[in-house]
Structure 1
Amino acid sequence: MTREQLLTRFNLLQPLPDAVLPAQARPAAVLLPLLEGERGLELVLTRRSRQLRQHPGQVSFPGGRVDDTDASLWHTALRESREEIGLDPALCRPLGRLPSQYTVSGFALTPFIGLVEGRPHFVLNPQEVDEVFQVPLAYVLDLRRHHLFTLRRRGRLHTVCFIPWQGIWIWGITAAVIHQFALQIAR
């Protein structure tokens, strides 16, 4: 998928409504960084440090909880991206926001899509990130690659999405956000 195709197909003016979020949910934001790569537009993903208490070793987006100093959720996503992978906020142009979702760890997670200009040099914070890698956007947005399973957890049914990529399983909230993005692009 090219930059022009993405901009044409992604409705930037009318974000979908947020999920119903519990009042006690803690606000957080993540960035879906897109950049021009060898295979067209590519999505930048990270693998969380295996030393972290929550979700160690899982594939994720750069991002995290809101700090008191953050001017907005967009600024949270940019600040966390700088802290985790050294992404210069000046290189990132906002394209849109996906609906907020409630995570199993108690966050109201707001995903932002940002277009990264140039070829950034990522510097990983080893306390938070073990790896950064890129996946072709066309691959992860292909709904045929999304494997949906319904599971019962605490007496409720939940749909969990899994997306395979070169021996890695993208799943959990990361795959749910990608799935939501793919559905919005497909409409």
Structure 2
Amino acid sequence: MQLEELKTRLNVLPPLADPHLPDNAYPAAVLMPLLPTGQGLELVLTRRSRHLRHHAGQVCFPGGRVDSTDVSLWDAAVRESFEEIGLLPEQCQPLAQLQAQHTISDFALTPFVGLVQGEVNFKLNPGEVDELFQVPLEYLLDVRHHHVLSVSRKGVPQQVVFIRWHNTWIWGITAAIIHQLALQIAR
């Protein structure tokens, strides 16, 4: 998918019903950084440090909890991206805000799609990130690569999405966000 086609599809995203998010859920935001390459757009993903107490070693987007210095959810997403992978906020143009989702760890997580502009020198914060990798957006938006399983958690039926990229499994809220985007912009 080319950038202009993606922008067109993002501009006409069908509205989704607002999810019921608990009032006490912690506000958080993540950035879905899209990097233009010679092979097309690629989505930047990270693997959380294996020594972290929560979600250690899982694939995720850069981002995190909103703090008192953030004036918006977007500001939280780009601040956290800078802290985790060294992506300068001025290098990222917002393209879309996706529907917030409630996470298993009680966050109201708002994803933002952002276009990375210019030469990027990623610098990983070893306290938070073990690895950074890129996956072609075209691959991730192809729902034939999405494995959706129905599970019961505390008696409540839920869907869990898994996406395999080479020897890596993307799953949980990260895969759910990718799946949501793929379904929203599919023709």
Unaligned runs of 5+ in 1: none
SS of the equivalent of 1:22 reads coil
CA contact (8 A) 1:85 1:123 kept: yes
TM-score, scaled to structure 1: 0.96
Give 1:3's aligned residue. 3
SS of the equivalent of 1:118 reads coil
Matched residues in 2 for 1:159 and 1:67: separation? 30
Deviation at 1:18, TM superposition (A): 3.3
CA contact (8 A) 1:16 1:98 kept: no
Give 1:99's aligned residue. 99
CA contact (8 A) 2:30 2:64 kept: yes
CA contact (8 A) 2:45 2:62 kept: yes
Give 1:151's aligned residue. 151
Q: Deviations over 1:98-118 (max 9, x none)?
A: 000000000000000000012
Instruction: Name the count of aligned residue pairs.
Output: 187
Give 1:33's aligned residue. 33
Identical amino acids, percent of aligned pairs: 64
SS of the equivalent of 2:74 reads helix
Q: What aligned pairs does 1:1-187 form with structure 2 within 5 A after superposition?
A: 1-11=1-11, 16-187=16-187
Q: Deviations over 1:115-160 (max 9, x none)?
A: 0012311000000000000000000010110000000110111100
CA contact (8 A) 1:15 1:97 kept: no
Cα 1:15–1:116 change in 2 (3 A) is farther
Unaligned runs of 5+ in 2: none
Cα 1:90–1:125 change in 2 (3 A) is same
CA contact (8 A) 1:45 1:132 kept: yes
Moved over 6 A (4+): none
CA contact (8 A) 2:13 2:184 kept: no
Q: Over the residues paired in the alignment, what is the CA RMSD in angstroms?
A: 1.2
Deviation at 1:13, TM superposition (A): 7.3
